[in-house]
């Protein structure tokens, strides 16, 4: 089992729907397991141990073979997500993919620093705001920022549901002034049950109202270095899995 990676799903090519790579064609490698339990998690099937039987232990070579099959062996962006992918031994996969021309982006809440963060092309740190119900380990987040300092393009992305989340995003931005900040509109319809998404259809009108509210707050505060984004994949496909 040593060196194998716990995989929830591999899918694509599709587009990245969030953050600095929004709109970029990508294959997603979603790992299984997480050290957080966010209230509005939209991927509980990759988080909770109840779904462990659906996860597969795979070698880096097996994972890359599936990525290459999906990509038609054309090197492209691979997004490593979860759950929390930082819990998995991903260094060999990244090295193997690099030898074949693939690039890697990873998103994590910043709770588990890894030395192999430096091998990524992109590191998206997404600390969880008050609405998640989780407390930020600031020392661990500092260590994640430091682990990625010598290699990838590192950014901060915060989901914003309400005023408290917005204040938290400002706090994070002030703590890491050198990092670009992306604000993602919260999606209440992403709330899930153990069986899967609570609702596949997204409330687009509600999401756009939230987007307008967040844009207005950023503009009023003259926070002109922040980038405000919706979840593009939700606008296109709702809360369906695997898109």
Q: Which of 87, 77, 131, 92 is nearest to 111 (CA)?
A: 87
CA distances from 204 to 26, 169, 188, 210 (A): 24, 23, 11, 10
83: preceding bond cis by omega (within 30 degrees): yes
Which two tokens mark 144? 């994640």
pLDDT at site 238: 67
Is residue 57 within 8 Å of residue 1, measured between CB atoms? yes
User: To 10 degrees, the CA torsion angle through 154, 21, 131, 9?
Assistant: -100
Three-class DSSP category at 194: coil
Domains of the chain: 5-237 (3.20.20.70)
Residue-level pLDDT, tens digit, the chain, 243 residues: 578 999 999 999 999 999 999 999 999 999 999 999 999 998 999 999 999 999 999 999 999 999 999 999 999 999 999 999 999 999 999 999 999 999 999 999 999 999 999 999 999 999 999 999 999 999 999 999 999 988 889 999 999 999 999 999 999 999 999 999 999 998 875 554 444 444 456 788 888 999 999 999 999 999 999 999 988 877 767 676 655
For 38, 47, 56, 153, the CA distances from 181, given in Å and listed in that order, are 21, 26, 34, 12
Instruction: Find, among 241, 127, 112, 123, the residue nearest to 184 by Cα.
Output: 127
Please report the beta strands in 16-169, taking only residues with DSSP state E, as ranges in sequence order.
25-31, 56-58, 77-81, 103-108, 122-125, 153-160
Residue matched to tokens 């709330």: 191
């Amino acid at each position: 089992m040593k060196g194998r990676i716990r995989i929830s799903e591999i899918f694509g090519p599709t587009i990245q729907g969030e953050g600095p790579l929004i709109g970029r064609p990508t294959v997603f490698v979603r790992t299984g397991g997480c050290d957080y339990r966010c209230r509005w998690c939209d991927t509980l099937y990759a988080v909770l141990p109840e779904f462990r039987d659906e996860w597969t232990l795979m070698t880096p070579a097996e994972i890359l073979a599936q990525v290459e099959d999906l990509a038609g062996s054309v090197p492209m962006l691979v997004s490593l997500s979860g759950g929390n992918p930082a819990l998995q031994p991903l260094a060999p996969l990244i090295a193997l993919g690099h030898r074949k021309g693939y690039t890697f982006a990873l998103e994590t809440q910043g709770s588990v620093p890894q030395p192999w963060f430096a091998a990524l092309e992109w590191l998206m740190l997404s600390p969880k705001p008050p609405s998640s119900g989780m407390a930020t380990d600031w020392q661990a987040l500092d260590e994640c920022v430091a682990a990625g300092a010598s290699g990838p393009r590192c950014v901060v992305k915060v989901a914003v549901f309400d005023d408290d989340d917005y204040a938290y995003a400002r706090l994070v931005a002030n703590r890491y002034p050198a990092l670009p900040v992306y604000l993602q509109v919260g999606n209440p319809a992403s709330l899930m049950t153990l069986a899967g998404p609570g609702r596949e259809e997204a409330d687009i009108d509600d999401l756009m109202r939230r987007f307008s509210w967040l844009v207005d707050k950023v503009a009023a505060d003259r926070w002109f270095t922040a980038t405000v984004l919706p979840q593009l994949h939700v606008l296109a496909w709702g809360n369906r899995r695997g898109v």
